[in-house]
Amino acid sequence: MNSDRCKEPRCLQSRFFDERRKGAVVDTIVIHSMFNPDADDNFCVHSCKALLDSRKVSTHYIIDRAGEVWRSVPEEQRAWHAGESCIPDATDARSGVNHFSIGIELIGSHDSGFTPAQYEALARLSCQIAKCHAIRQVYGHADIAPARKSDPWNFDWARYAADLKRLGGDAANIRVRPGI
C-alpha cells in the first residue's frame, strides 16, 4: 500500500445511526475492541457486525485481524458506539461523545491483543480521518465511559501514538488520551 494513500474501506453497512447534532464538529476518535463469543469464528467481521446489529449499536469503522478496514456508518452521520459518555479532560468535559466522534472497532479479545496489520490500518485510517475532520484527540471506550466499558483491551497506546507521529501530516498533532 502506498504510504500517501489509504485503501478505500469495504462496506458493511449498519442501519443503526442517525443525524449528528446541528453544528456538531467531529474532533474526536474513539477506539473500541470487540469479538463475538457466540460465533464459530469469534473474530469474523460478519459475526462481529451481526453482534453489533443484535444490540442495535454501530460504529463508523471495523478493522479485522488482517487489517482490512470496513465502513459501517458514513462519517457525516452519528454512529451509536459510545453510549452514555463524557470526555475525561478537565478542559473538555463534553458529554454525548457520539455527536462529535468517529468510532473505530478493532476485532480482538481480552487475550488476543491486536495484530501489527491492525495497528498499521488504524494509524492510516486515523490519518485519513484527520484529513477530513479537525481531529484533536483520541480516546478508548473505557476512557469516555469508565463505569461501563473496559475496551480497547490490552491496547498499546504508545505504539499507536508513535505510529501517528511516524505517518505525520494531519495526524501528527492528534493528542492521544489527553487528561488521562
Residue 79 near residue 60, CB atoms below 8 Å = yes
- Does position 166 have pLDDT exceeding 70, yes or no? yes
Mean pLDDT of the chain: 94
Instruction: Report H helices in the chain.
Output: 45-54, 116-132, 141-144, 157-167
- Is residue 7 very low, low, confident or very high in pLDDT (cuts 50, 70, 90)? low
How many whole angstroms separate alpha carbon 125 and alpha carbon 45?
Answer: 17
Residues with a known catalytic role: 105
Report the alpha-carbon distance of residue 142 to residue 150 in Å, rounded. 5
Does the pLDDT value for residue 172 go beyond 90? no
> For the segment 46-80, what is each residue's pLDDT rounded down to a tens digit?
999 999 999 999 999 999 999 999 999 999 999 99
- What are the distances in angstroms from CA 175 to CA 2, 6, 55, 76, 146? 25, 21, 31, 22, 19
What is the rounded CA–CA span in Å between residue 40 and residue 18?
A: 31
Q: Which three cell numbers stand for residue 15?
A: 442501519
Residue 121 makes CB contacts below 8 A (sequence gap 6+) with: 63, 67, 68, 69
Domains of the chain from N-terminus onward: 10-176 (3.40.80.10)
* Amino acid making up residue 42: N
**C-alpha cell read off for 98:** 457520539
pLDDT in tens, 80-134: 999 999 999 989 989 999 999 999 999 999 999 999 999 999 999 999 999 999 9
